[in-house]
Amino acid sequence: MKRSFFTMLAVLLAIGGTSQAGTGEQQKLKHPNLVLFVADDLGWNDVGYHDSVIKTPHIDSLAKEGVELNRFYVYPFCSPTRTALLTGRSPLGLGITRPIGGDAVLPMDEHLLPQTLKSSGYQTLMSGKWHLGSRDETALPHKRGFDSFYGHAGGFIDYYTHQRGGGLRRRPGGNQQGETPPPDWQRNGKTLVEEGYSTQLIGKEAIRLLRERDKKKPVFLYVTFNAPHTPLQAPQEFIDRYKDVENEDRRVFAAMVDAMDEEIGKILKVIDEEKMRDNTIVLFMSDNGGSARGGARNTPLASGKGSVYEGGIRVPCIVRWPGVTPPATTTEVPSYFPDWFPTLCDIAGTKAPADLDGDTLVPLFQPEKKSQESFQRRKPLIWEFHGYRGQLAVMDGKWKAVRQKVRTKQPDAWELYDLETDRAESSNLAKKHPDV
């Protein structure tokens, strides 16, 4: 499989040399550019191509030009998903099942994706949200494999003042100590005080990085928007586009997604202008399901952020790979967040570490049906986290088992769903299929 994949890639790059879009320095690159967009708390029904009220023409264009991973799974919280993206390992094994806060960090001895790609000659650039620990500078992206980092280190910020924690105050005039939250906005460890809507600033930085890149090296660009995570804030011009949306939270949330989509469109335009398109793989995904309390919608999936039901862990995901992914196609093969590390290494022709939990998804991107049929997961997918209502889910093929741990003297009860026929998880088949 790998031999045929690399042969195909070599042929595609050679063919690309005859096209205008692939001329210049880009055709001299040994490996393709990699651009990964990550949205924050974007729900299943929050993109246009899922029949949402929200307009996302640029994200939709990726779906029209690439392949939709219709059963792509993440963790129901932010930090665990980002952990798996950059380590290729399940966050359960690292003890990261909740958002990282305080002095906690992604273990410093973990080898990260940008380190592997950098050792293979890639420029590794990041613009956006980190949320994998910031107790000191050694825990920040520019000390963990990225050549450049711009954005915020914590979970969420005020979109305009860039204050940590969204600029929230526990009482008028400040927090419990009567202080205004400090800014969480920086470039390579140095705090920045600048004006602007964070979504647009993140997009602007990504464009600068592409324009000013070393054209003799391939690029790994990691663009992690804080949108549409709370607090609900958007420029008025975007809010005005959704006057017909009665619910105010939903209206502002839609505006936030729209603004993010516009920045994605600007970045895609620069990829074209820089004649990078034919040699650039673009990926788009959300870090977890949407939060209904934050204005998101996951219809028709059950529940949302913080839940192991489909609405919390099944998210929009697209891959555009010119010349490889057939346009406007969909795969129903289950895939999940640790897969991106070995997948991107496979695409880049780089050897991934041997102890990863993910599997390369390259067979899912090739047009031959037999390639998708040959894809086999090495192990079931597992989600688990604790709290007042601890949750556990195990998925193997079409079957998904869920157990809610409740504080009663009764034994924990299993639920069972056939996701091929019941993605809304409306029919519990546990009693009908006890063997499963």
- The answer to whether 342 and 352 are in contact (CB under 8 A) is yes
Eight-state DSSP code of residue 162: -
Just list the catalytic residues. 78, 131
Q: Where are the alpha helices (DSSP H) in 212-247?
A: 236-239
- The answer to whether 153 and 131 are in contact (CB under 8 A) is yes
Residue 257, both tokens: 């997604």
Task: Measure Cα distances from 357 to 83, 302, 352, 367 in Å.
Answer: 12, 27, 11, 25
Say how far apart CA 274 and CA 272 lie, in whole Å.
5
Q: Collapsing DSSP states into helix, strand and coil, what is residue 60?
A: helix
Q: Collapsing DSSP states into helix, strand and coil, what is residue 392?
A: strand
Say how far apart CA 236 and CA 221 lie, in whole Å.
29
Say how far apart CA 159 and CA 166 lie, in whole Å.
7
**Sequential DSSP letters for 295-349:** T---TTSSS-TT-SSHHHHB--EEEE-TTTSPTTEEE-S-EEGGGHHHHHHHHHT
Q: Which residues, in sequence order, are bridge partners of residue 221?
A: 35, 125
